[in-house]
Structure 1
């Protein structure tokens, strides 16, 4: 409180002094460049003089200046400061509306903790290819029934496959690389799956509400960790503990009965140095777009910070997003034409209510404790201790008794009747002729420590740190719904008696999954654990002066793997612990830049990565066997280069990037589905020693005229992504876990010159925001995607080589498509508080399109969807 009183007295003194020397008055309005809303409390200072002013509630200001011409500097918490020149006419000058842009690097002013472990690109003098999305944009455009990932789609070389599947089932591709080969960080902590590198966005749906900024570093990125950034690095910086007291309540509704309510409160930093923030919400819908894709979930965040003095700051944060959602998968185009774009072959009815075979349910609380230590003016230490506990899984069918109706939906009522009819006197049946819903469970505990020491000396900056992780995962199957049976006879090739019966059911519920899951005697098919221990060290040296900068960065890591089987097969194999395998990895990267002047910059970066294989690729049969693949699976080797040009003035920003990436020894794993003895059977295909070459260029342009009334954003990406060389292949039956015998042609694939699929190699987009008045703004975006190919299926490659051996195999080229989104924001005040209405329409032209094709069929994108929200800020 004393600091606040002192500050107000100082401001009053400066204003009184300025008036006595004033020559004239400069007026204007300060607004948010993204939303168009006024920035109440913005600071306005005349450059070179001791006079200033503060914008009122509507963003208006009036500043008494000392000269007939000069420059004023306008700043606001969390925004980039801007300088504006003025010339007095008859003693006055009206600057109109001055728009400020959100500053992703002002986080230390917004939160109690610093950002020492968060590798933001702007924290380094040498540029990389980077784009930032503000938390305000995310919370307006990509919340509710829209995936968090949608906020990233208007970015060069970023493709969001927004499938008409279920809530949280979207995927991100960066420069043609999928999510397993793009590094995702939350407040500096790696969050890709330790076992396979995957990202499940349904586990992170709460990021739409708590993200402060998302920074996408394409290619090498600026992260100092020994992590995979083949495609790039996505830094998600979340809300923690706000210094300012306040909060909000928001209510959002959308198509197909979507409803979401959110409440947030920040206590503000008190005189003792304590502050806390809390956010909770609940959402639900009877479907996302397709039928049979209902969902429900919550999001919670609690953060408490303590800043006893200028030397130390501590913050504890826990957040989670428990959810369940029913899923729709890919299908043949003929089925869509016959049954409609919203059809779902996984769904049907049970006792008169919609019931879907496939449901994802998961709860992954994440907690971290941050400590920032400002040792002296040139040295600081940032450390974070973090943990997550994931519980849940995904449901599917078990048994050969699936029945479909004439609409290709699953007839669950008939299945129940058949189960009862085929069961014995005790209500027990087995695989043949019966059908139940099972759940594949993935429970894990993950603990980590990340620490970074930063030293600055004149034009030099030094960083050194450590990254350690401990991971334990349990994988097994359990019964979710016996569908009329009292027990299921387990005959999956284990060393159990032939008449072994499983009787317990476990709900597909994210809260219940935390503590309620099957013991060993009620698990079936597979039951194993994995342990991964990781330790890495990193360092960086950077030199920068006014015109030139250069950096060198390196990291080294060691990772150990071990599997423990809890079941033995019919031959007594697979139980017990495997040998412990260790792998080392490293990365080395460096770059330089040159500033011709304050407007023009060129730069170049290069790097070499040696990445350890994922655990799932280490064992011959991860579900059943402790045998390690021989010869050992090699590290994947990535060599990357990029160069770029930057132009920036007060109204225009232009970024141009060129890149070339070679990726060798890659391991690819994907599923297929085939009829075996009349039963739909899933197979896992594994390709080793795959090589890829990705090259292309990107442009990103933003223009805003001096009056700030409108803002234009344009981007384009053109790539040439191809496979190279031959790749060995294996194929495994997921039901029996047996490997399929392959011919020579089937077991070795020549992929040279084959296009990489699943993401468009050419894309462009245009975005426009217009501030109609102080309170009202409209915005829209239009995106074009082309050169999109299907995923490469090994069986298709074999068939093509057999029929036309001299022709390079190319996957099917999917149709190009365009998408348009529009939005409207209206702000008004209610006493001393604010109300904000936001409306969004996605795919406004209701375009029908295919955004991916895999081995199972085609994925359609969502048709027109919409939402509207009302937010009350206090």
Structure 2
């Protein structure tokens, strides 16, 4: 009996042990429905047992229990919980588990709205690169938002002057005025000039779920200005999964950022909400460029129980102010305040000190919130209606300087300290009559007008000068900080009906309507010690003019509904643009073939109001609308040769209306008699390859841009033409941009991944153009200056590298600990051009700048936390320009090393030698060129908690 009892106890003990310490295995494969998801996190709920999927998306877990749940998470996808049961010593294969993309993936939003024209892999026949939120969150750091695209083929990004949000981007050699930027399907390029100011969109990096760069004519159905390409940004939506995040980051130049967000997820009643707030600030890498920027994002959503209706209300804005570096100094100036071999690339000729504090007369301050209301209506299984109403009310300005002292502007040598900073105290002392300035061969003291120190527009130089009297200065003028206000009210609507005609054909038809009012005037910010500002710009108040004492602070206007009443100076005009368009697209898809044909037509109307230049009784004080018709047609096809290979072709033609300042040149209300639409013809072909080990695309393109409009500078002063009384206009400028692009990535192992790209462009002007000259006062032709040729044929297009390449990789050195690096190379970079450089048929063409390469690196660690390991703490460190490379990012001038130095009157041309012979070179470039250097080594660190 005792032995039997012992056997029972022993048996019971082994049963307990075998139950507690069972070694059953749980296996499975994680995919997104189209391919495996390597690196997905898999954890047994309520335990610390976790693993990551391998390159094929497979995982194996050892379970100590017979039943349980696994939680699968992958950035960009919704977490998924799967139950399992496994016998002792056995293996339970859960099969293929498909994760559903959240708003970090484009496909979810595409299903909801047919307004957002997102290119689909192996289906949409365009050259495209997609950057997801995970990469933006990790690698952007303190860089500008467009810089995340640096390793994309044919994309060239620079920081321009280096102020917060002042970056600019080129695609295939076209500047961002000719690149369509879309946010959730809405066009955001300025309706007057096509500009995009990234400082107004600095908060996009916080709220972007994915971004596509569609090079070439792109997939948008609208008549957009996508000569070079389309940047399609998709922001977060309200019905993201429940959760949120808190993050904080800091970097060089006292850069600091804090952010918080929360999403309710879709509630049982169909409601959802999402909110994000962030704040960033810093001193700026460039001298005298501190900044403060905020960002808010609020989204509210409602989905009906039958999923027929989905409503989304989104409001986002990024109010900011930042000091700028607007002056492109010569290379010699950077060397002067550094060394010959190590120029001071942070030097800012606009920055200085006033009353013991840092002061910069150049400042940008703006607030441009955007609100949109989206309604997606699933009428039936074959018909879907997508609509969006949007509004944007921008308020803000760019501050600069007007006036001068004896012909000297605020950053002339007479106002510079020994370190090159602007002595604003000296300007203030001159303005208030307590100080003197050395010019005209002696120290001069300011004189009053009517008993006061009067500032105005005069620089204090009263003429061009003669041999007997080379100066012709007066001592009555002063220097003032003024702001050019460029506010606007913008309203629009997009409606798209998507109808599946059959199993193979889908038809889209839509309406695009926009209205825009731009308010343009100047105000006084700081007289810098002067008593009053004299303005004589208002036609109805001449000749007496006005004596003004009101000033306006350069503060961000948070309340955009407040149309403030300002005392305006210099100019005051209102530009109105009306846009009415329709578009349609027919898409065919069957088996391995997909194709589309698309067309759009739009009418733009331009109206100008001006009560400064014109009397109220003058018909030109308020013009009629000048209506211009334009549009596009394009089509393409993609064929999937196999499961791995596909080929595509596309072609298109654009007839694009000119911008507002082309319709009404020189801020006058007389319609340009030479108006013509710009014509763009594009062709593209490509090949794609997809496999478990390698993904790659290669494509070739050719874009012809004819009848490009360009306004030029004034004619030189002469005996018959006064200085600054004319402007020039270049007609018949034609460009051809062609090239080849490659982009690829490979998972060498489940932990080691590499990527790379290469692009080579041939971007040249085609044929010669002509220049006409007009008087500024009434836009009438200047006699003798009509049809003058400029010799542009075969001249390289400047301002963007025509050869770019990058190579990078990442390696998971420990579980969820990853290091990454990339090297970006830029060559065939030419200076920015003005056609005035090409008045002679034997001109030297475009100045080629030195090539350069940049190495960036980073370290990431993701720590799973929480009871179910479904939350995480993320660490990220970025080091940009690791090797601290000094490089010229852009040049405003086109002066060659073998050009002769200028000579004085009576001297023989070339008698002073060349810049090269005088040793006036830096890295082979004449040091009199006005340039912006890129940033040196920078770093940032961020910590984010996702819950």
Question: What TM-score do the two structures reach when normalised by structure 1?
Answer: 0.86
The answer for the alignment partner of 2:204 in structure 1 is 207
Q: What is the CA RMSD across the aligned residues, in angstroms?
A: 3.8
Indicate conservation of the 8 Å contact 1:250/1:872, yes or no. yes
Say whether 1:849 aligns with 2:892. no
Say whether 1:305 aligns with 2:301. yes
Distance change >3 Å, CA 783–CA 80, structure 1 → 2: farther
Say whether 1:436 aligns with 2:480. yes
Q: 1:465 aligns with which of 507, 510, 519?
A: 510
Query: For each residue in 1:593-623, what CA deviation from the matched residue of structure 2 results, as whole angstroms up to 9, or x when unmatched?
Result: 222211111111111111111111101322x
- Of residues 765-774 and 440-449 in structure 1, the stretch that sits farther from structure 2 once superposed is 765-774
Q: How far apart are 1:91 and its partner, in Å?
A: 6.9
Distance change >3 Å, CA 215–CA 685, structure 1 → 2: farther
Distance in 2, matches of 1:795 and 1:134, equals: 43
The answer for the alignment partner of 2:897 in structure 1 is none
The answer for the alignment partner of 1:225 in structure 2 is 222
Say whether 1:602 aligns with 2:647. yes
Distance in 1, matches of 2:267 and 2:186, equals: 29
Distance change >3 Å, CA 743–CA 824, structure 1 → 2: farther
Tell me the SS of whatever aligns to 1:787.
strand
Say whether 1:709 aligns with 2:768. no
The answer for the alignment partner of 1:726 in structure 2 is 768
Q: How far apart are 1:809 and its partner, in Å?
A: 4.0
Query: For each residue in 1:666-700, what CA deviation from the matched residue of structure 2 results, as whole angstroms up to 9, or x when unmatched?
Result: 113467999999x9989976433211001100001
Distance in 2, matches of 1:124 and 1:479, equals: 56
The answer for the alignment partner of 2:431 in structure 1 is 419
**1:775-790 equivalences in 2 (<5 Å):** 775-790=816-831
Query: For each residue in 1:529-579, what CA deviation from the matched residue of structure 2 results, as whole angstroms up to 9, or x when unmatched?
Result: 011111111111121222222211111111111101121359996852113
Q: How far apart are 1:647 and its partner, in Å?
A: 0.6
Indicate conservation of the 8 Å contact 2:42/2:73, yes or no. no
Q: How far apart are 1:830 and its partner, in Å?
A: 3.8
Distance in 2, matches of 1:251 and 1:603, equals: 44
Q: How far apart are 1:35 and its partner, in Å?
A: 12
Q: 1:620 aligns with which of 665, 678, 687?
A: 665
The answer for the alignment partner of 2:137 in structure 1 is 139
Distance in 2, matches of 1:183 and 1:578, equals: 29
Indicate conservation of the 8 Å contact 1:730/1:739, yes or no. no
The answer for the alignment partner of 1:49 in structure 2 is none
Q: How far apart are 1:840 and its partner, in Å?
A: 0.6
Distance in 2, matches of 1:606 and 1:515, equals: 44
Indicate conservation of the 8 Å contact 1:185/1:191, yes or no. yes
The answer for the alignment partner of 2:404 in structure 1 is 400
Query: For each residue in 1:732-784, what CA deviation from the matched residue of structure 2 results, as whole angstroms up to 9, or x when unmatched?
Result: 899x9999969659943121111000001111001211112222111111100
Q: 2:739 aligns with which of 673, 691, 696?
A: 696
Q: 2:524 aligns with which of 472, 479, 494?
A: 479
Say whether 1:755 aligns with 2:767. no
**1:35-114 equivalences in 2 (<5 Å):** 38-39=40-41, 59=52, 62=60, 78-79=76-77, 106-107=105-106, 109=108, 114=112
The answer for the alignment partner of 1:352 in structure 2 is 356
Distance in 2, matches of 1:771 and 1:343, equals: 40
The answer for the alignment partner of 2:235 in structure 1 is 238
Tell me the SS of whatever aligns to 2:41.
coil
Distance in 2, matches of 1:747 and 1:34, equals: 62
Identify unmatched segments of 5+ residues in structure 1: 1-22, 44-52, 66-73, 82-89
Indicate conservation of the 8 Å contact 1:159/1:172, yes or no. yes
Distance in 1, matches of 2:619 and 2:520, equals: 14
Indicate conservation of the 8 Å contact 2:706/2:732, yes or no. yes
Distance in 1, matches of 2:304 and 2:483, equals: 49
Tell me the SS of whatever aligns to 1:192.
coil
The answer for the alignment partner of 2:863 in structure 1 is 828
The answer for the alignment partner of 1:510 in structure 2 is 556
Distance change >3 Å, CA 312–CA 647, structure 1 → 2: same
Distance in 2, matches of 1:173 and 1:319, equals: 26
Distance in 1, matches of 2:878 and 2:834, equals: 38
Say whether 1:872 aligns with 2:945. yes
The answer for the alignment partner of 2:814 in structure 1 is 773
Distance change >3 Å, CA 105–CA 201, structure 1 → 2: closer
Distance in 1, matches of 2:359 and 2:242, equals: 45
Q: 1:528 aligns with which of 550, 555, 573?
A: 573
The alignment of Structure 1 onto Structure 2 pairs a total of residues equal to 814
Distance in 1, matches of 2:455 and 2:646, equals: 71
Distance change >3 Å, CA 849–CA 589, structure 1 → 2: same
The answer for the alignment partner of 2:707 in structure 1 is 665
The answer for the alignment partner of 1:127 in structure 2 is 125
Distance change >3 Å, CA 57–CA 737, structure 1 → 2: farther
Distance change >3 Å, CA 34–CA 376, structure 1 → 2: closer
Q: 1:637 aligns with which of 676, 679, 688?
A: 679
- Of residues 506-515 and 588-597 in structure 1, the stretch that sits farther from structure 2 once superposed is 506-515
**1:369-380 equivalences in 2 (<5 Å):** 369-380=373-384
Q: 1:546 aligns with which of 591, 613, 620?
A: 591
Tell me the SS of whatever aligns to 2:801.
coil
Say whether 1:859 aligns with 2:932. yes
Distance in 2, matches of 1:601 and 1:207, equals: 33
Distance change >3 Å, CA 434–CA 502, structure 1 → 2: same
Indicate conservation of the 8 Å contact 2:40/2:74, yes or no. no
Distance in 2, matches of 1:508 and 1:550, equals: 52
Distance in 1, matches of 2:508 and 2:62, equals: 45
Distance change >3 Å, CA 54–CA 160, structure 1 → 2: farther
Indicate conservation of the 8 Å contact 1:98/1:708, yes or no. no
**1:218-367 equivalences in 2 (<5 Å):** 218-286=215-283, 288-309=284-305, 310-329=307-326, 330-339=328-337, 340-367=344-371
Distance change >3 Å, CA 132–CA 675, structure 1 → 2: farther
Q: How far apart are 1:125 and its partner, in Å?
A: 2.6
- Of residues 451-460 and 486-495 in structure 1, the stretch that sits farther from structure 2 once superposed is 486-495
Indicate conservation of the 8 Å contact 1:31/1:39, yes or no. no
Identify unmatched segments of 5+ residues in structure 2: 1-22, 54-58, 64-71, 80-88, 338-343, 434-445, 461-476, 894-928
Query: For each residue in 1:613-646, what CA deviation from the matched residue of structure 2 results, as whole angstroms up to 9, or x when unmatched?
Result: 1111101322xx2110113x11110110000101
Distance change >3 Å, CA 862–CA 253, structure 1 → 2: same
Query: For each residue in 1:689-732, what CA deviation from the matched residue of structure 2 results, as whole angstroms up to 9, or x when unmatched?
Result: 21100110000111013x42021111000010100123233578
Distance in 2, matches of 1:42 and 1:599, equals: 35
Distance change >3 Å, CA 776–CA 732, structure 1 → 2: farther
Distance in 1, matches of 2:712 and 2:49, equals: 58
Q: 1:813 aligns with which of 829, 845, 848?
A: 848
Question: What TM-score do the two structures reach when normalised by structure 2?
Answer: 0.80
- Of residues 692-701 and 224-233 in structure 1, the stretch that sits farther from structure 2 once superposed is 224-233
Distance in 2, matches of 1:488 and 1:722, equals: 47
Distance change >3 Å, CA 672–CA 304, structure 1 → 2: farther
Tell me the SS of whatever aligns to 1:868.
strand
- Of residues 254-263 and 53-62 in structure 1, the stretch that sits farther from structure 2 once superposed is 53-62
Indicate conservation of the 8 Å contact 2:575/2:608, yes or no. yes
The answer for the alignment partner of 1:84 in structure 2 is none
Distance in 2, matches of 1:285 and 1:737, equals: 46
Distance in 2, matches of 1:34 and 1:737, equals: 66
